[in-house]
Structure 1
Amino acid sequence: MTTFTIFLILIVIVSFLLVVVIMVQNPKGGGLSSSFGGGGTQQLGGVKKTTDFLDKSTWTLATLLLLLILLSNVDLMGNGTVQESKVNTDNVQLETPVNSSADEENNDQE
């Protein structure tokens, strides 16, 4: 298994976790954070702690995703995979006209 494949698997996993964490949050305060404690005065862990955890996990996963993408790009460039996909123009021979010097002499005389 190549390192790029490992990076790709990690990117997919982190992306899925980021989607899950974002979907759990509710911008109006009615999401998972308000379900702890049932809205009473006694709250398990507190709404503020849950909101802080979800906010920190969102930023952490987003940063990790960006870092994995950048590292996979560096790994891809380091392996030379991108350079190999370019068209090889080293063996291409340009066709030159056989009578090019004769044509130039004719043009100069005119």
Structure 2
Amino acid sequence: MSTFTIFLVLIVVVAFLLIVVIMVQNPKGGGLSSSFGGGGTQQLGGVKKTTDFLDKSTWTLATVLLVLILASNITITRGSESLDSKALDPEAQSTQPLPEALPSAPAATPAANDANTEEE
């Protein structure tokens, strides 16, 4: 398994986790954090702590995803050929013969109907 494949699998896993964490959140203060506890009773973890955890995990997963994407670019195997333009390298320019001049088109000939009109 190549290094790029490992990075690709990690990127997919982190992206999936990021989607799950974002979907659990509710932008209006609800979501998973509102399902814990209710109306002044004992709360499991507390609403504020759950919201903080989801917020921190979103930023952490987004940062990890960005780092993995940038790191995977380093591991991409490239061919042995340079991707630079050969037009800028005077040694790489090969002298190709210029295309020969196109032969001039023959003069327009009268249509074949002229021979047929003489027979009638």
TM-score (norm 2): 0.66
Match of 1:69 in 2: 69
Task: List aligned pairs for 1:25-104, cutoff 5 A.
Answer: 25-76=25-76, 79-81=77-79, 94-96=95-97
CA shift at 1:60, angstroms?
Answer: 0.4
Structure with greater helix percent:
1
The CA RMSD over aligned residues, in Å, is 2.6
Whole-Å separation in 2 of the counterparts to 1:58 and 1:46: 18
Unaligned runs of 5+ in 1: 98-110
Which has the larger displacement, 35-44 or 9-18?
Answer: 35-44
Question: Deviations along 1:16-69, whole A, 9 cap, x unmatched?
Answer: 000000000001112100101134432111001100100010000000000000
Q: How many residues align?
A: 93
* TM superposition outliers: structure 1 runs of 4+ over 4 Å: 83-86, 91-94
Distance 1:4 1:84, change over 3 A: farther
CA shift at 1:96, angstroms?
Answer: 1.9
**Bigger-Rg structure (1/2):** 2
TM-score (norm 1): 0.72
Whole-Å separation in 2 of the counterparts to 1:68 and 1:54: 21
Distance 1:84 1:11, change over 3 A: farther
Distance 1:68 1:34, change over 3 A: same
Whole-Å separation in 2 of the counterparts to 1:27 and 1:80: 43
Whole-Å separation in 1 of the counterparts to 2:3 and 2:70: 13
Larger relative contact order (C-alpha < 8 A, sep ≥ 6)? 1
